[in-house]
Amino acid sequence: METPSSSTYSVDATALRAWPLPMPSGDGDKEARGHVLILGGSREMPGAVILAATAALRAGAGKLTIATGASVAQLVALALPEARVIGLAETDQGGFTEAAVGKLDPLADKVNAILIGPGMQDEEATAVLVRALLPRLDGSDVSVVLDACAMGIVLDESFRFSVPVILTPHAGEMAHLTGATKEAVSAAPDEHAAQAARDWNAVVVLKGARTVIIAPAGERWQHEGGNVGLGTSGSGDTLAGIIAGLAARGAALPQAACWGVALHARAGEELAERFGVLGYLAREIPEHIPALMESFARP
């Protein structure tokens, strides 16, 4: 799908049908569908990593590994019997110690995508961990998605990703990361997302009623849809998980982001039809994803 930097492409059903997701062959096994690693969770928020990991599997990833705090690893393993769960040493503030890098390093050559951030609370420790992990992934084919406090690595003004990654901020998070006000970001999302994409060398998914997706070279997409019910606790974790699952299957970063945003929004629309606009739960979003992928793929 060619996207000149001077144009903004709308992400709708027609566009998605023209941009099909990678599909394994009929005799492909779970390895062919991709291995996703979800790094996140904490004592106070183990559910976030469960939501993200469930969404990654619903998006079609074949293998799942979760790395989370040792204090909640058994709980997470019981909630997700499909996953391998690794317990990591924790900081008092809800992050992971630098010792986590040693436990994760052997996975660098075995996974296709990694999502870092859901449910992590110690922004400083998370930035240290991400900074230590990224060089191990450079030069590999691993797609990296950063969500929640893992995006805090860009607070260092001199920081720039050597290889593009996906970042998934909402307006408030973008304000925190850039020093702008939330009102300024909301008033000019394209401008702020484009500047961040260039400065950070990242595919920026600036979430909102109109979500803007901008790649480092300036390619732009937008999605309008969903409803206010998606603004609920855990919804962002599910979106990040969907994107990571699609990337694990082999979707390029912009494609994984665009498809993920569209699937997440349409799932919210279906849930609103079932329950009403307010009151459906983030945990209910992933179950809609497989059928929606099939629906978007059909002419």
Report whether pLDDT(2) > 50: no
For position 158, what pLDDT does the model report? 85
**Hey, is 37 helix, strand or coil?**
strand
- What proportions of the chain, in percent to the nearest 5, are helix, strand and coil? 45, 15, 35
195, burial (CB in 10 Å: exposed 0-12, middle 13-18, buried 19+): middle
116's tokens: 């870092």
Report whether pLDDT(6) > 60: no
**Hey, is 35 helix, strand or coil?**
strand
**Number of structural domains found in the chain:** 1
For position 259, what pLDDT does the model report? 98
Residue 3 domain-assigned (yes or no):
no
Report whether pLDDT(198) > 50: yes
> Can you give the residue range of the structural domain that contains 86?
8-292
pLDDT band at 94 (very low <50, low <70, confident <90, very high): confident
**Mean of the per-residue pLDDT values for the chain?**
93
pLDDT band at 95 (very low <50, low <70, confident <90, very high): confident
Report whether pLDDT(96) > 60: yes
Higher pLDDT, 68 or 136: 68
pLDDT band at 88 (very low <50, low <70, confident <90, very high): very high
For position 98, what pLDDT does the model report? 83
For position 31, what pLDDT does the model report? 79
Residue 36 domain-assigned (yes or no):
yes
Residue 297 domain-assigned (yes or no):
no
For position 3, what pLDDT does the model report? 39
Which 8-state DSSP code applies to residue 170? B
For position 194, what pLDDT does the model report? 97
CATH of the domain at 276: 3.40.1190.20
Beta carbons of 76 and 46 less than 8 angstroms apart: yes
Report whether pLDDT(5) > 80: no
Q: Which pTM does this prediction carry? A: 0.95
Q: Of the ranges 2-16, 97-111, 195-209, 243-257, which one carries the lowest mean pLDDT score?
A: 2-16
For position 4, what pLDDT does the model report? 37
For position 1, what pLDDT does the model report? 38
φ/ψ (deg, to 5) at 94 = 100, 15
For position 87, what pLDDT does the model report? 96
pLDDT band at 49 (very low <50, low <70, confident <90, very high): very high
pLDDT band at 156 (very low <50, low <70, confident <90, very high): confident
